[in-house]
Amino acid sequence: DDGYRLWLKYDLLKDEQLRKTYASTISSIVYEGEKSPVIQSATEELQLGLKGLLGKEISLKHTNTTNLGSIILKKDNTEKLTNDEGYHIYRQGKNIIVSAKTDNGILYGSFALLRNIQTGQSLAKTDITSSPKIQYRMLNHWDNPNGTIERGYAGASLWKWFELPERLDPRYKDYARANASIGINCTVVNNVNASARFLTTEYLPKVQALANVFRPYGIRVFMSVNFAAPKILGGLSTSDPLDPKVRQWWIDKTKEIYAAIPDFGGFLVKANSEGEPGPQDYGRNHADGANMLAEALAPFQGTVIWRAFVYKADANGDRFKAAYEEFKPLDGQFKSNAIVQVKNGPIDFQPREPFSPLFGAMPKTPLVMEFQITQEYLGFSTNLVYLAPLFKECLDADTYANGAGSTVSKIVDGSINHYQKTAIAGVANTGSDRNWTGHFMSQANWYAFGRLAWDYTLSSELIADEWIKMTLTKDAVPVKIITNLLTGSRENYVNFTTPLGLHHLMGQGLHFGPHPWLEKSARPDWTATYYHRADANGIGFDRTKSGSNALAQYSPEVQKQWENPETCPLPYLLWFHHVAWNKKLSSGRILWDELCYRYYSGAESVQKMQNDWKSVKTSIDPEIFEDVSGRLLAQQREAIWWRDACVLYFQEFSKLPIPAPYQKPERTLTEVKKITDVYQLR
């Protein structure tokens, strides 16, 4: 098994009894009314899936004539239990009804029914209703026009730009199927560091061709745009958002896009961030820029998604505070079809971050959650890191913006501030590798993102359990072992890279491996020393009143959780406090010993992960087993590298011995530094 089929494997169910029960329950698939392209996708998938799982052809009928046990796809405008994209699956006599208000709802219901069969649920009393809590469930592809992917670790872009629009890779359809199966309904096809080329007559037909393949799966296409496009492409002397000619250029360009892609979703914009052009180049603010694009998109019900990932090159400030400082004052100034996309944490997709203080702070502006599925800071495609616990930790965090229970998820889904538009985005981890995600186990992260975007109340364990049963094995004991392996993997990774609230210690530029001694870079906030602040006294970034006071950006209740170093939970300690090396922590250890304990036990956990993986060998396809085994070995090498680099480097400041029972690293700091140096070579 090369992993290409993802979780849509549809192999014959091994349990013969179960298979017979399903087969006797399902004799045909019936659709009513017109067979739209979306209904065509639903029936095609059901036929494909059931044939594989049950080993029998299931016929397709237009209207129901018998009551022998059919799956009936029923559009029902009066369905009270669901929203527009939701579904209701229930028994009616011998039939199974998949009912929804829209064709898209029926498509999602069909995939849900298949998932129930794939995971071996009984259909005897089926009665499932489910509706997505967030409207736009999006993937953000950071793909470039030359086929490379920014921060992509699974090969080249899925989009074969040179072949498009004439040749359609069959993979585009499989991509759409996979997304639809987990409820993803929007995709931004290109990098936020956007090439203006995507808006040319060269690239628009290519994007149009992709949109045509995705449409029958309920997926709308968005594009990242370069704010300076009027200058770059339009020959204008400015891209000032208040200049009438610039505004007209965007109005015309938007019309041209909608003529080609009538259901085009809109624009995603990274502006005045990391060197990208933006409204501030002309003395305007982010709302001015977003509103200009919103105006061009409004006649077509399009949306502009404006990113809040901004931080100025200011050596004395605290990058933590930057997005809040720039965006909070603009609350209420954005047009109704302009929404603001915020990364989960205040810095940049670190293995652990507190939630961004913007969540809860902009009640008049719909905020989009941006997660990173691609493992830029979580070990690329050599590390097994299941991200559902990271996503959940943020979504479940309480902002107290509107009293207790104002979780980040309730900000994002609009239930607290009654947003008209709601959205969640994940930076995709897909690429041209045969198994889509490089590390086979990273498929679970794509899956988990989609499942949580649909319903953030699902637990990490439940999502892992589903995914394992659909892609790896249904054997009960191995399912349990792998579920534990997955759910513990993120904490393991945090422990051997950035425990206790450390952050931004990774290799410069590439963001690979440890580089805690990095003290000079093009910008101070691209170094590691800016963040960890280790000295003879201790380590950590004081963000309380005595330091940068970034904590003040949170509600008083949240401040209370984190402001006191005595009571601040250890996972967040060094995010907010500079703590003395010999300070006794709630664990009973002094800080230095706790740090060593985390680095050593984190690295040891990778050995344990290997043992767990070996123990399930007979239940796993050999090709997948070998692939994951090899990557776990690489992960072990990296974990020890991280451990050695960090304890040896921080020991220069603490001057304390490695506590028993741990052994001193076998190599010296100079030797470890050499490994990191090599990664800085071109």
With CB under 6 A as the rule, give the number of residues binding ligand BDP.
9
By CB under 6 A, is residue 503 in contact with ligand BDP? Answer: no
CA distance 1 to 9: 10
Footprint on residues 307-336 left by ligand BDP (CB under 6 A): 309
Shortest separation between residue 491's beta carbon and ligand BDP, angstroms? 22
- Which sequence positions are flagged as catalytic? 274, 348, 376
Shortest separation between residue 333's beta carbon and ligand BDP, angstroms? 23
Long-range interactions of 458-461: CB distance < 8 A, separation 24+: 459/392, 460/386, 460/388, 460/389, 460/392, 460/486, 460/487, 461/487
CA distance 251 to 138: 24
- Alpha carbon of 6 to those of 10, 40, 262, 275, 463: distances in Å? 10, 21, 30, 37, 15
Footprint on residues 375-434 left by ligand BDP (CB under 6 A): 376
Q: Which of 292, 287, 305 is nearest to 248 (CA)?
A: 292
Shortest separation between residue 398's beta carbon and ligand BDP, angstroms? 26
Interface pick for ligand BDP out of 206, 215, 270, 643 (rule CB under 6 A)? 270
Interface pick for ligand BDP out of 107, 192, 219, 287 (rule CB under 6 A)? 192
Sign of CA dihedral 447, 448, 454, 458: positive
Q: Closer CB to ligand BDP, residue 192 or residue 229?
A: 192
Q: Closer CB to ligand BDP, residue 22 or residue 512?
A: 512
Interface pick for ligand BDP out of 281, 326, 348, 638 (rule CB under 6 A)? 348
By CB under 6 A, is residue 349 in contact with ligand BDP? Answer: yes
Q: Closer CB to ligand BDP, residue 318 or residue 466?
A: 318
Q: Closer CB to ligand BDP, residue 376 or residue 542?
A: 376
Q: Closer CB to ligand BDP, residue 150 or residue 455?
A: 150
By CB under 6 A, is residue 151 in contact with ligand BDP? Answer: yes
CA distance 191 to 606: 33
Interface pick for ligand BDP out of 150, 169, 461, 475 (rule CB under 6 A)? 150
Q: Closer CB to ligand BDP, residue 108 or residue 142?
A: 142
DSSP 432: S
Sign of CA dihedral 51, 57, 58, 61: positive
CA distance 621 to 268: 40
Q: Closest residue to ligand BDP, Cβ-based?
A: 348
Q: For residue 117, give both structure tokens.
A: 């069969």
Shortest separation between residue 273's beta carbon and ligand BDP, angstroms? 6
Measured in residues, the chain has a length of 682
What's 540-608 look like in SS3? CCCCCCCCCCHHHHCCHHHHHHHHCCCCCCHHHHHHHCCEECCCECCCCCEHHHHHHHHHHHHHHHHHH
Footprint on residues 65-84 left by ligand BDP (CB under 6 A): none
Q: Closer CB to ligand BDP, residue 348 or residue 433?
A: 348
User: Do the beta carbons of residue 74 and residue 99 sit within 8 Å?
Assistant: yes
User: Residue 340: phi, psi to the nearest 5?
Assistant: -115, 125
User: Residue 31: phi, psi to the nearest 5?
Assistant: -120, 150
Q: Closer CB to ligand BDP, residue 141 or residue 151?
A: 151
| Interface mask toward ligand BDP for 273-312; x: CB under 6 A | ------------------------------------x---
CA distance 600 to 603: 5
Shortest separation between residue 345's beta carbon and ligand BDP, angstroms? 11
Shortest separation between residue 142's beta carbon and ligand BDP, angstroms? 7
CA distance 677 to 417: 49
Q: Closer CB to ligand BDP, residue 193 or residue 212?
A: 193
By CB under 6 A, is residue 214 in contact with ligand BDP? Answer: no
Shortest separation between residue 279's beta carbon and ligand BDP, angstroms? 17
Cis peptide before 241 (omega within 30 of 0): no
CA distance 239 to 227: 7
Shortest separation between residue 523's beta carbon and ligand BDP, angstroms? 13
Q: How many CA atoms lie within 13 A of 466 on its CB side?
A: 25
Give the chain's radius of gyration (CA, Å). Answer: 26
Q: Which of 11, 107, 72 is nearest to 454 (CA)?
A: 107
CA distance 257 to 269: 16
CA distance 424 to 224: 16
Burial class of residue 473, CB neighbours in 10 A (0-12, 13-18, 19+): buried
Shortest separation between residue 394's beta carbon and ligand BDP, angstroms? 16
Q: Closer CB to ligand BDP, residue 318 or residue 370?
A: 370
By CB under 6 A, is residue 193 in contact with ligand BDP? Answer: yes
Shortest separation between residue 370's beta carbon and ligand BDP, angstroms? 8
Which residues of this protein are in contact with ligand BDP, per CB under 6 A? 150-151, 192-193, 270, 309, 348-349, 376
